[in-house]
Amino acid sequence: MKRRGPGLRNQGGFTLVELIVVMVILGLIAGFVYVNYMGKLPEQKIKAAKTQIEIFNQALELYHLDTGQYPTTEQGLNALRENPGVDNWAGPYLKKDVPNDPWRRPYHYQSPGSHGDYDLSSYGDDGSPGGEGKNQDINSWE
């Protein structure tokens, strides 16, 4: 039996046209995913801020149960991680350092607050009080 030379073998692989078709299909899929993801990103940031504020609310309530008071405005949310010199502090009340809001800005904490014992807010995408949609404020009292 004769052996075929290297030029006579049936070589597998993709043609340039097949590769271009696959790249176009992958590009279309990536485009659809990106558009859908970016369209929902503001909603996801609002949900994340609401969730973080709820976690802070729970930690603040534990702090209050132990110490009989809420952290002052000056002590801020860092009092949930490090004892600000308060008797009966049994923290830390948060497992990790106090994060910024989803827009990478600090949360606004005030105690006593205008709407209760404390006010805790994120000002949304624009970073200013008020606003609607992606610029809406996320508040602990709402």
Which tokens belong to 87?
């008797």
Low-confidence ranges of the chain (pLDDT < 50): none
Predicted pLDDT at 37:
63
pTM summary value = 0.70
DSSP assignment string, 7-21: GGS------HHHHHH
What are the structural domain ranges in the chain?
Answer: 26-139
CB 94 within 8 A of CB 55: yes
Sort strands 138-139 and 119-122 into parallel, antiparallel or unpaired.
Answer: antiparallel
Outline where the chain has alpha helix (H): 16-67
Predicted pLDDT at 23:
83
Predicted pLDDT at 135:
84
Regarding the domain delimited by 26-139, which CATH topology (the fold level of the hierarchy) does it fall under?
Glycoprotein, Type 4 Pilin (3.30.700)
Query: C-alpha angle with apex 88: 83 to 94, nearest 5 degrees?
Result: 45
